[in-house]
Structure 1
């Protein structure tokens, strides 16, 4: 679990550590804030698309090889971002870094499915997500210090150093868990279609996508709202971000306990209801102070944590021999899908708070699906 935790940290580290430096990056390259924010959305888009290749590759050549390859790509692209001389160079480096991060993520979640099976994987994914949530708490603090002491580029040199250290640990400690390498071609459309034919997978992967869209909308908008509009400095921004991450950690750790006692169905119902409450609070509170913006974010973080573990576990549950492919498609929904949803809503040109509230409220139809006969049946076998 320690090695798996390190593998899933690559993605949040690549997003959260340099958030306090986003205004400096836009100033350094003399571009609008939207282009600096695109370094996050393009990273997530590449991470989602890349999983379509990393997943089947993990089923073919093994989880370990894909993990080590992903770490290598991640470290090289971090150095490219560190040396970027213009925004185009930076965006290209971030696209490449997304491909590296997707490989480590697929390898981690497919390994969870290999080791813990269909029944326990949802609970273990919740614990992994809890570990992931430490990064939003700690990375912006580190990133703020690095940026103030050494400039914004030091965030990317730290990512490269982290990748080298983890690479060595993986070479020494990670064993292959893929039960058997299959003899099929690495990329075969039918493998994806077999997964997508499952209504349960499509529904629960879509839930993960919509929950992730809320977090992505918050992450890309928070520096503008808190630092530009409300006038917070880098340290104050980091404090609010860290409080939210702490709440997310607690939620990720309590979700498995609730799941054990009441099942995945009730866990999802509570998570979705909490997310809807957050959307209503965001719309009703006058947005004139940091707490007015962050209170609904705190609430949504609880809903996000409870949805993600239960929904991801249920999405992967039926696919033992195709765990890598299923994890890849789940990642595509969760990363590229969330990026697409947020990108489309952002194009409407609404205030950030309204845009985030819409992301929270569009999950509403999922309640009716969960309460239908089919929705209940998906959760009967392994509630």
Structure 2
């Protein structure tokens, strides 16, 4: 099957976890109200989501190497649908968190399996350009997620969000069953998790990549975690939180478009990562300075633009030495950076400090954008 025939589906599947996360975030304030928990506890729902997502990445990454890309994706979407339907009838906050952990396990297939499919078909600069195209589509996910999420929460409470997510996952399951090809190579490494994991955990290039992915994601999702409560503190109508997604989506889309243009004109990925780190740090400093005004949204544009520039380059380069076991390597890599994201989001929930979080993420990214370490893997694993 030609790549062009399933690329729209691949983009939709990659958008799905981000849509789920951002569509879910307007419900955080409703969680606090319905279950009588403080904002700090409600914010931890995203932390649980990310931590469960991390372990889901491992499971689906291994499964897509063993049973195939297509079956793994179908199982993941089915699990997400079941968990979201179950969330409609829970009566305690702890039970809600449990259903969201299961949903996150299922949603992880949309990330790792789809990235594996793309890595089966592309490599090197072509993969980075493909991720840039995907990034432009992903940039609209927050706008869609926030707008739809706000509408569902206002009309039906958090249960409306859960029902909407279940419906979306069911539609994607049917589309996947009809259109996703099997791209798993005929010749592949077997039972390589332990050895691949040991090699990757000792690989400084992998750690650099995982930390960069985590820094830019924590910067992005700290806004979606804290945004509802920031708008409440500023006595601004919560609807504006939903509208802000449109503006931020425009910033992320601009970053992805600029990244593709710069790659096409010969700029090195390392240079673009440094540019993104500088934008993130500058935006974070400005957000902190303007934290008592809704105008903090203006420098948030620089933050999301940095995300759109950085992530395609980091993901496109991270696993170039692990092409013979890309699903397993993707599982280990995803576990690493999603555990880092989950730990970071835990701290974000405790501190409730958006500007400070962005500054720390920016400083971390700047520190990682010095000379690139070489990957330890120069010979095939046995």
Length-normalised TM-score, structure 1: 0.90
Shift in alpha-carbon separation, 1:105–1:277, aligned structure 2, 3 A: same
Q: Deviations over 1:273-320 (max 9, x none)?
A: 11121122234x2422111x2123211111121111101111022221
Q: Counterparts of 1:205 and 1:354 in 2: how far apart (Å)?
A: 21
Q: Secondary structure at 2:236's aligned position in 1? A: coil
Aligned partner (choices 134, 137, 141) of residue 140 of structure 2:
134
**Structure 1: 4+ residue segments shifted above 6 A:** none
Q: Counterparts of 2:100 and 2:190 in 1: how far apart (Å)?
A: 32
Q: Counterparts of 1:29 and 1:267 in 2: how far apart (Å)?
A: 44
Aligned partner (choices 185, 189, 195) of residue 190 of structure 1:
195
**Aligned twin of 2:103:** 97
**Aligned twin of 1:158:** 164
Shift in alpha-carbon separation, 1:356–1:43, aligned structure 2, 3 A: same
Q: Counterparts of 1:193 and 1:123 in 2: how far apart (Å)?
A: 30
Q: Counterparts of 1:258 and 1:6 in 2: how far apart (Å)?
A: 25
RMSD over aligned CA atoms reads: 2.1
- Checking the alignment, whether the CA contact within 8 Å between 2:77 and 2:173 is kept in structure 1 is yes
**Aligned twin of 1:357:** 359
**Aligned twin of 1:232:** 236
**Aligned twin of 2:226:** 221
**Aligned twin of 2:23:** 17
Shift of 1:119: 3.4
**Aligned twin of 1:369:** 371
In the alignment, structure 1 segments of 5+ residues that lack a partner are 379-383
Q: Secondary structure at 2:182's aligned position in 1? A: coil
Structure 1 residues 170-179 or 17-26, which shifts more?
17-26
- Checking the alignment, whether the CA contact within 8 Å between 1:25 and 1:152 is kept in structure 2 is yes
**Aligned twin of 1:294:** 297
Q: Secondary structure at 2:240's aligned position in 1? A: helix
**Aligned twin of 1:38:** 44
Q: Secondary structure at 1:232's aligned position in 2? A: coil
Aligned partner (choices 305, 316, 334) of residue 319 of structure 2:
316
Shift in alpha-carbon separation, 1:319–1:183, aligned structure 2, 3 A: closer
Shift of 1:189: 0.8
Q: Counterparts of 1:238 and 1:350 in 2: how far apart (Å)?
A: 19
Task: Say whether 1:328 aligns with 2:334.
Answer: no
Shift in alpha-carbon separation, 1:290–1:375, aligned structure 2, 3 A: farther
**Aligned twin of 2:178:** 172
Q: Counterparts of 1:363 and 1:75 in 2: how far apart (Å)?
A: 36
Q: Deviations over 1:48-76 (max 9, x none)?
A: 12212221221111111110110000100
- Checking the alignment, whether the CA contact within 8 Å between 1:62 and 1:181 is kept in structure 2 is no
Q: Counterparts of 2:94 and 2:187 in 1: how far apart (Å)?
A: 39
- Checking the alignment, whether the CA contact within 8 Å between 1:216 and 1:338 is kept in structure 2 is no
Q: Secondary structure at 1:322's aligned position in 2? A: helix
Aligned partner (choices 254, 258, 279) of residue 258 of structure 2:
254
Q: Counterparts of 2:198 and 2:359 in 1: how far apart (Å)?
A: 33
Q: Counterparts of 1:60 and 1:201 in 2: how far apart (Å)?
A: 23
- Checking the alignment, whether the CA contact within 8 Å between 1:130 and 1:252 is kept in structure 2 is yes
Q: Secondary structure at 2:324's aligned position in 1? A: coil
**Aligned twin of 1:61:** 67
In the alignment, structure 2 segments of 5+ residues that lack a partner are 1-6, 378-382
Length-normalised TM-score, structure 2: 0.90
The 5 Å alignment of 1:105-124 reads 105-124=111-130
Shift of 1:234: 2.5
Q: Deviations over 1:219-268 (max 9, x none)?
A: 21111112x21112232111122211221122122212212321212111
**Aligned twin of 1:381:** none
Q: Secondary structure at 2:181's aligned position in 1? A: coil
